Structure 1
Amino acid sequence: MNVSDQLLQILKNEGVKHIFGVAGDALNPLVDAIAKQDDVKWIGVNHEGNASYAAFAQGELGNNFGVCASTVGPGALHLVNGLYNAKKERSPVLAITGQIPIEHLGTAYHQEADLTKIFDDICEYQAVVRSPEEAPRVILRAIRIAVNKNCVCRVELPSDIAFMKAENEFFVHKVFRSKSLTVPSSEYLLEASKMINTAEKVGILAGAGCREARADVLELSEHIKAPITHSLRSSDIFDHSTKNVVGLTGLIGNKSGYEAVMDCDLLLMLGTDFPYTNYLPKNTKIIQIDKREENIGNRTPIDLGIHGDIVSVIPQLRKLIHAKEDGSWLNSLNENFRTWKNNMHEKGSTDREMSPTHPQIVAKSVSDLASDDAIFTIDTGTSAIWSSNIMNFHSGRRIIGSFNHGSMAVGLPAAIGAQLQFPKREVWAMVGDGAFNMSMHDFKTAVTYKLPIKIIIFNNSELGFVKIEMEEAGLAPNLDALAVNNIDFAAYAKLCGGDGITISEADQVHDAVIRAKNSKLPFIINAVVTSGELALPPKIELEHAVNFGVSKTKELWRALKGDRAQWDNIKKEIESYFD
C-alpha cells in the first residue's frame, strides 16, 4: 500500500462515494488506486472548477463531505471558485491537490505554485503532506475539521510522496463527528423572553440555521403571532405554502416580507447572517440567535445576542413566552402575501401570450410539475429571481446555489453532484444563458454518467441581472456588453448525447417540462424568454426611483438618437409590462 492507497482507504472508511476531478501527473497514483476498487468512483469532469461545484453540492446536501481533486498548480487553481462557494455556504468539502516533487519546491519549477498561500483564504486547514509518516495524521485532521466545522480543507500530496510506501497504518481510524449542540445561559433566555413578552409586534427573520428547527420556529410564530420572513437560502425551509410565512426581503424580495422586518417592534434574527443592511431596521429592537458567535451583531446593532443552536434555543425560549392574542398585524401581512402570491400566479399563467414568452411561466410550470422531493440548483442572476418569486419549494424539496458567494455557473455542475448523490430524485438546474455558457462543456459529463438532470435555460440573450444593476445605478445599459450570443442549446444537448427542446411560446411550456421530467437522459429546455421583464425591489426608495428614472431617460435619449438596440429594449419592457 502506498500513500495514495492509504488516502483512498481513509476516504472509503468515511463513506465517500465520488471524487470529482481531472486526472493528471501528480494525481495519477490516486487515480490508479481508485481503478483497483469499486467503492469510490472517479468522476472525470472537463474543468476542475465544475469538480469543486459538484463536490460543494454533495457536501451541502448530504451528511458527509464532498471531495474534488486536481493535479499541480494550474489544475489546482481552477478549483478556487467552487471551493470559495463551499466556504461561503458552509459546506464541508475536501480538496485533494497534487504538488511537484518536494526536492523541487521553491525553485520556480515547471507548474509550481504556492498552493498553501493561494488557498489560505479558503481553507480552514491545509494538510500539506511532507512524509509518509505524517500523511494519515494530517489527512484525518483535515477531514475531522471539514465535517465538524462545515468548511473547506485541503490535502496537498507531492507526486513523489504519493508513490511512497504508506506508514503508520495503525493510526488510521474513523473520524470523530460531533453531534453536540450549543445551549445558552438561562439568564439570556429570560432577558429575551421579557423583551418578547413586552413587544406588541414581533417579526422573525429566519435563515438556513433554522433547518433542524423548522417545527419549533413555526410553533413560536403561531404562539406570539409573528410573521416569518426568510432568507433566499432558507426558501426550502419556510416555503410559500407554510402558515405565517410572508416571503423574502432584500433586493429580490416582496412587500410583505420587507414590511414584516421593517415595521415590527422587535425583530428576532434566527440562524441568519442576512447581509443587506439597507433591508434591516435602524431603530427597532433586535434579538439575534446564532450558533456562530461571530455573526451576532455582524450586520446591524443588536439589543441582545444569544449564542446557541436554534434547535436548542427555541424550545427553551418558548416555555418562557406568553401567548399573544392580537393577530391583526400578522393577519394583515398574511393577506398581503396571499395577494402577492396570486399576482405571481397570474404572471406565471399561460394566458399571457407574449412571444417570446415570460420567464415566470417557465418557472411556475417547473414548480407545479416537479416532484415533491426534487432538488433544485439555482444559478446566480435573474434565474434566482424567477425561482424564488414564482416557485414553491414545499414538502421535501431542496435548493442549493451560490447564495452567499454570488458566483455564476454553479447550476449545472451542482446538479451533477446532486444527481450522483441522489440517483432516485429529480434534479432541476435553473440557470441563465450567461451562466450556462460558462459551464456547458460539462453537460457531456452528465451524458457520460447517464445522469437524468433537467436543465432549464432562461435564454434572453443578455446578462439580465447585470442590466438591472446598471439601471439601479442610473446608467443606461450597455447592451453590447450585456449581449449573450447563444447557440442552439437544445441541438447542443442532442449533439452531446442528451436530449432537449427549444420553446418560446407559453403553450409549449407544459409539455416541454413533462418531457424533461420523464427523460432518462440529461435534458435541456432552451426556454427563449423576453428580456423585457422588470424585477423591482419590495420597496422603491427615492434613490432607486431617481436612478431608475435617470437610466430610462438615458436609454430614451440614445434611442431617439438612432440607437436601434435601445429602442428594442424599451419596446420589450413596455410589451412585457402590459401583457
Structure 2
Amino acid sequence: MNVSEQLLKILQAEGVKHIFGVAGDALNPLVDAIGKQDMIEWIGVNHEGNASYAAFAQGELNGNFGVCASTVGPGALHLINGLYNAKKERSPVIAITGQIPIEHLGTNYHQEADLKKIYDDVCEYQAIIRSPEEAPRVILRAIRIAVNHNCVCRIELPADIAQMKAENINYVHKVFRSNSAILPSDQELQAAAKLINESKKVGILAGAGCRAAREEVIRFSDLLKAPITHTLRASDVFDHSTNNVVGLTGLIGNPSGYEAVMNCDLLLMLGTDFPYTDFLPEKTKTIQIDVRPENIGNRTSVTLGLHGDIKSTIVSLLGLCIEKKDNDFLKRLIEKFDDWKISNDQKADPSRDMEPLHPHIFAKGVSDMASDDAIFAIDTGTAAIWASNFMNFHSDRRIIGSFNHGSMAVGLPAAIGAQLQFPNREVWGLIGDGAFNMSLQDFSTAVKNQLPIKIIVFNNSQLGFVKIEMEEAGLAPNFDALRVNNFNFAEYAKLCGGDGVKVEHAKDIIAAIQKAKKSTKPFIIDAVVTNAELSLPPKIGFEEAKGFGISKVKEIFRAFNGEKEQWENIKQEIEAYFD
C-alpha cells in the first residue's frame, strides 16, 4: 500500500463517497488508487472551481465533509474560490492538492507554487506531507479539524511521496467528532432571563446557527410573543409558513422582518453573525447567543453575550423566562407579513403576461411544485432575490449558495454535488445568466453522471444585480458592461445530452416546470425574463434614495440625448411596475 492508497482508505473509513476534481501529474497516483476500488467515486469535472463548489455543497448538506482535488500549482489555484465559499459558509471541506517532487521545491520548478502561503487564509489547517511516516498523522488531523470546526483544510501530497510505501499503518483510527453541548454559566443565564422578563417587546433575529434548535426557538418565540426574523441562510429553518415568522431583513428583506428587528425593546440575536449593520438597531438592548464567542458583539454593541449552542441555551432559558401575555407586537407584524405574502402571490401570478416575463413567476412556480424535500442551489445576484421573496422553503427543503462569500457561479456545481449526495431528492438550481455562463462547462458533467438536476436560468441578457448596485451608487447603468450575450440554453442542454425548454410566454411557464420536474435527464429552463424588475430593500435611507434618484435623472438625460438602451430600460421598468 502506498501513501495515496493509505489516504484513500482513511477517506473511505470516514464515509466519503465522492471526490471532485481534474486529474493530472502529481494527482495521478491518487486517481489510480481510486480506480482500484468502488467505495469512493472520482467525479471528473471540467474546471477545478466547480469541483470545490460541488464539495462545498456536500459538506453543507450531508453531515460529513466534502472532498475536492487538484494537481499542482495551476489546478490548485482554481480551487480557491469555491473553498473560500465553504470557509464563509462554515462547511467542512478537505482539499487535496498535488505538489511537485520535494527535491525541486524552492527552485522555481515548472508549475511550482507556494501553496502553503496561497492557502493560508482559506484553510484552518494544512497537512503538508513531507514523509510517509507523518502522512497518516497529519491527514487525520486535517479531517479532525475540518469536521469539528466546520472549516476548510488542505492535504498536500507531493508527486514522489504519493507513490512511496505507506508507514505508520497501525496509527490510523476513526476521527473523533464532538457532539458536546456548550452552555453559558447559571449567572449569565439568570442575567439574560432578567433582561427578557423586564422587556415588553422582544424580537428574535435567527440565523443558520439555529438549524439544530428550530423547535426550541419556536417554543421560545411562543413564550415571549416574539416575532422571528431570519437571515437568508436560515430561510429553510424558519420558512414562510412557520409560526411567528415575519420574514427576512437586510437588503433583500421585507418590511415586517425589518420592523421586528428595529422596533423591539430587546433584540435576541440567535446563531447569526448578520453582517448588515444598517439593518441592526443602534440603541436597542441586545442579547447575542452564539457557539462562536468571536461573533458576539461583532456587528452591533450587545448588552449581554452568551457563549453557548442555541439548543442547550434556549432550553435553559425556557425554564427561567416568564410567559408574556401581550401579543400586540407579534400579531401586528404577522398580519403585515401575511399581507406582504398575498401581494407577492399576486405579483407572481402567471396571468401577468408581460414580455419579457416577470422572473418571480418562475420562482413561485417552482416553489409550488417542487417536492417537500427538494434542495435548491441558489446563485448570487437577482436569483437570490426572487428565491428569498417568492419561494417557501418549508418541510425538509434545503437551500445552499454563496450567501456570505457572495460569489457568482455556485449554483450549477452545487446542484451537481447535492444530487450526487442525494440521488432520490429533487435538486433545483436557480441561476442568473451571467453566473450560468461562468460554470456551464460542467452541465456535461451532470449529463455524464446521469444527474436529473433541474436548472432555471434567468435569461435577461444582463448582470441584473450589478445594475441595481450601479443605480444605488447614483450611476446610470453602463449597458455595454452589463450586457450578457446569450445563446439558446435549452438547445445547449440538448447538445450536451440533457433536455431543456426555452420559455418566452407566461402560459408556458407551469408546463415547463412540470416537464423539468418529471425529467430523468439534466434539464434547463431557459427563462427569458425582463431586466427591468425593481427590487427595493424594506427600508430606503437617504443615501439609497439619493443614489437611485441621481441614477434615474442621469438615465433620463442620457435617453433624451439619444441613448436608445437608456430609454428602453426606463420604458421596461415602468411597464414591469404597472403590469
Normalised-by-shorter TM-score class? over 0.9
Task: Using the TM superposition, give the Cα deviation of residue 341 of structure 1 relative to its aligned residue in structure 2, in angstroms.
Answer: 0.3
Task: Using the TM superposition, give the Cα deviation of residue 545 of structure 1 relative to its aligned residue in structure 2, in angstroms.
Answer: 1.1
Cα deviation, 1:399-455, whole Å, max 9, x if unaligned, reads 000000000000000000000000000000010000000000000000000000000
1:305-324 matched pairs, under 5 angstroms:
305-324=305-324
- 2:337 maps to which residue? 337
Per the normalisation by structure 2, the TM-score is: 1.00
- 1:64 maps to which residue? 64
Task: Using the TM superposition, give the Cα deviation of residue 63 of structure 1 relative to its aligned residue in structure 2, in angstroms.
Answer: 1.3
SS at match of 1:406: coil
SS at match of 1:297: coil
SS at match of 1:203: strand
Alpha-carbon distance in structure 2 between the residues aligned to 1:323 and 1:182: 25
- 1:447 maps to which residue? 447
AA at the equivalent of 1:148: N
Alpha-carbon distance in structure 1 between the residues aligned to 2:268 and 2:129: 46
Alpha-carbon distance in structure 1 between the residues aligned to 2:208 and 2:335: 25
- 1:279 maps to which residue? 279
Alpha-carbon distance in structure 2 between the residues aligned to 1:101 and 1:284: 59
2:516 aligned with 1:511, yes or no?
A: no
2:517 aligned with 1:544, yes or no?
A: no
1:94-493 matched pairs, under 5 angstroms:
94-493=94-493
Alpha-carbon distance in structure 1 between the residues aligned to 2:354 and 2:63: 45
Alpha-carbon distance in structure 2 between the residues aligned to 1:250 and 1:517: 32
Count of residues in Structure 1 that have an aligned counterpart in Structure 2: 579
Cα deviation, 1:50-99, whole Å, max 9, x if unaligned, reads 00000000000011100000000000000000000000000000000000
Alpha-carbon distance in structure 1 between the residues aligned to 2:188 and 2:493: 57
Task: Using the TM superposition, give the Cα deviation of residue 543 of structure 1 relative to its aligned residue in structure 2, in angstroms.
Answer: 1.5
Task: Using the TM superposition, give the Cα deviation of residue 497 of structure 1 relative to its aligned residue in structure 2, in angstroms.
Answer: 0.2
Alpha-carbon distance in structure 1 between the residues aligned to 2:513 and 2:503: 10
Alpha-carbon distance in structure 1 between the residues aligned to 2:161 and 2:265: 62
Alpha-carbon distance in structure 2 between the residues aligned to 1:367 and 1:84: 29
Alpha-carbon distance in structure 2 between the residues aligned to 1:397 and 1:216: 19
What's the C-alpha RMSD, in Å, of the aligned pairs? Answer: 0.4
Task: Using the TM superposition, give the Cα deviation of residue 181 of structure 1 relative to its aligned residue in structure 2, in angstroms.
Answer: 1.3
Structure 1 stretch displaced more, 543-552 or 446-455: 543-552
AA at the equivalent of 1:337: F
Task: Using the TM superposition, give the Cα deviation of residue 482 of structure 1 relative to its aligned residue in structure 2, in angstroms.
Answer: 0.4
SS at match of 1:357: coil
SS at match of 1:443: helix
SS at match of 1:251: coil
SS at match of 2:524: strand
- 1:50 maps to which residue? 50
Unpaired runs of 5+ residues, structure 1, are none
Task: Using the TM superposition, give the Cα deviation of residue 162 of structure 1 relative to its aligned residue in structure 2, in angstroms.
Answer: 0.3
Alpha-carbon distance in structure 1 between the residues aligned to 2:38 and 2:48: 23
SS at match of 2:20: strand
Alpha-carbon distance in structure 1 between the residues aligned to 2:506 and 2:345: 14
Cα deviation, 1:507-536, whole Å, max 9, x if unaligned, reads 111000000000000000000001110000
AA at the equivalent of 1:142: A
SS at match of 2:514: helix
Task: Using the TM superposition, give the Cα deviation of residue 540 of structure 1 relative to its aligned residue in structure 2, in angstroms.
Answer: 1.5
AA at the equivalent of 1:64: N
Task: Using the TM superposition, give the Cα deviation of residue 41 of structure 1 relative to its aligned residue in structure 2, in angstroms.
Answer: 0.3
Alpha-carbon distance in structure 2 between the residues aligned to 1:304 and 1:496: 56
Alpha-carbon distance in structure 2 between the residues aligned to 1:63 and 1:198: 39
- 1:85 maps to which residue? 85
Cα deviation, 1:20-68, whole Å, max 9, x if unaligned, reads 0000000000000000000000000000000000000000001110000
Alpha-carbon distance in structure 1 between the residues aligned to 2:411 and 2:151: 20
Alpha-carbon distance in structure 2 between the residues aligned to 1:546 and 1:290: 37
- 2:14 maps to which residue? 14
Alpha-carbon distance in structure 1 between the residues aligned to 2:328 and 2:311: 28
User: Could you tell me the percent identity over the aligned residues?
Assistant: 73
Please list every run of at least 4 consecutive aligned residues from structure 1 whose deviation after the TM superposition is greater than 3 angstroms.
none
Alpha-carbon distance in structure 1 between the residues aligned to 2:530 and 2:443: 25
Alpha-carbon distance in structure 1 between the residues aligned to 2:500 and 2:135: 47
Alpha-carbon distance in structure 1 between the residues aligned to 2:492 and 2:514: 20
Alpha-carbon distance in structure 1 between the residues aligned to 2:361 and 2:559: 30
SS at match of 2:389: helix
Unpaired runs of 5+ residues, structure 2, are none
SS at match of 1:555: helix
Task: Using the TM superposition, give the Cα deviation of residue 539 of structure 1 relative to its aligned residue in structure 2, in angstroms.
Answer: 1.0
Alpha-carbon distance in structure 1 between the residues aligned to 2:167 and 2:539: 63
Alpha-carbon distance in structure 2 between the residues aligned to 1:32 and 1:538: 54
Alpha-carbon distance in structure 2 between the residues aligned to 1:504 and 1:308: 51
